Structure 1
Amino acid sequence: MKQAKLLTPAEQKRVYAVIDAHRYSVRNRAIFAFSFFAGLRACEISALKVGDVYDADRVVRDTVYLNANQTKGDQANTVLVSKRLSKALSVYAAAHPSHVSSPNAAMFFSAKGGGFTAQTIVNLFARFFALAGIKGASSHSGRRQFLTDLADKGVNVRVIQALARHKDISTTQRYIDYNESKLRNAIELV
């Protein structure tokens, strides 16, 4: 199985420029933020409810609790909310205050009404990557980028495994990308 492409900084800028040119840019930035800053899968993003993310005062929670029916592995899990993710979610709440006041509503709404399905999230990622001229990227690119960036910053693989919500560390290791430049930098540490 081919792995989802990691984005270069220039490609990330292109994607966000395309998102910002879109009618629902704040919503789409928040969707991308869940993938790139928390490593959520498309099925997990689509399963989120407003109350999972915001408290009664519309303040972003510091931890999102995923029920078993919201995850790939059918096991409840927690997602820690970083400052970058929190910022994107705060902007989303400010742009859509009436929507985020309904705790049982789907976190992300479509223009046609109702929440997004996992396939809609996958299609959204594919659309923005295509518009940005990026081949090989998918809805899983953000998750892979999140885990690889953590590894590049020296985070222990066991910690990355916990953040990825993987049962087996070998699964986590497959997500982490390396190249000759990273290998050369590593040997210079000795």
Structure 2
Amino acid sequence: MKLALAQCNTRRHAVRDRALVQFSILAGLRACELAALTVGAVYDDIGAPRTSVLLHRAQTKGNSARRVYFNTELQRLLKQYRSHVADRASDAPLFATRFGTAFSANTMSQLFLDIYHSCGLHGCSSHSGRKTFITRLADKGVAVHLLAALAGHKHISTTQRYISVNEALLTRAVELV
């Protein structure tokens, strides 16, 4: 993901693109959920970042409302990003196209593909940040039922497919014996 973030710095909409990649990693949101975020959902009336946001049924893939929590790092990022969206109405998209309109889920997915492909990360998609989010939490010992709730999955078997097994995870696991 470091390659993708570095690539974002070279792009025409560097601030927005970098924030999108970081948001996907730090909150585990799907492309359709990122596209649906509004300024008012993420910032309060005085412009401070919220600690969480409620995604309504129509904004999620599973058609189930869920709360998404913002960790300290994401709140810090949102404080920096605020100046980028300060002139927008509360119902305006948090991440806008070059025309100032909301992304569609498909266009958001294409944007992620373009970012990843332009830095040589083939096989990555708009779900890569989400997969990183879930894997990092699993790697730190977060229980799968909590991961499922954070990801908005109804079944833990869905969440388990996102978790990448790696050397560090295996090494720590055997030390628990």
Same structural fold, with TM-score higher than 0.5 when normalized by the shorter chain:
yes
Separation (CA, whole Å) in 1 of partners of 2:79 and 2:70: 12
Distance, in Å, in 2 between the alignment partners of 1:23 and 1:155 is: 37
2:92 maps to 1:105: yes
- Cα distance in 2 between the residues matched to 1:97 and 1:21: 23
> How far off its partner does 1:120 sit?
1.4
- 1:137 matched to 2:137? The reply is no
Within the alignment, does 1:16 sit opposite 2:8 as a pair? no
What percentage of aligned pairs have identical amino acids? 45
Question: Of 150, 156, 162, which aligns to 1:163?
Answer: 150
Contact 1:161–1:172, Cα closer than 8 Å, also in 2: yes
Q: For residue 139 of structure 1, what is the amino acid of its counterpart?
A: S
Q: For 1:17-66, what per-residue CA distance to the aligned partner results, in whole angstroms no more than 9, with x for missing partners?
A: 11011122111122112210011000111111111111111111101011
Partner residue, 2:47? 58
| Structure 1 runs of 4+ with >3 Å offset | none
Partner of residue 19, structure 2: 30
The partner residue of 2:63 within 74, 81, 95 is: 74
The answer for unaligned runs of 5 or more in structure 2 is none
Tell me the distance in 2 between the aligned counterparts of 1:37 and 1:183. Answer: 23
Contact 1:26 1:91 in 2 (8 A): no
Q: How many residues align?
A: 177
TM-score, scaled to structure 2: 0.94
Question: Structure 1: which 5+ runs fail to align?
Answer: 1-11
State the SS of the aligned residue for 1:108.
coil
| Pairwise CA RMSD | 1.3
8 Å contact kept, 2:27–2:70: yes
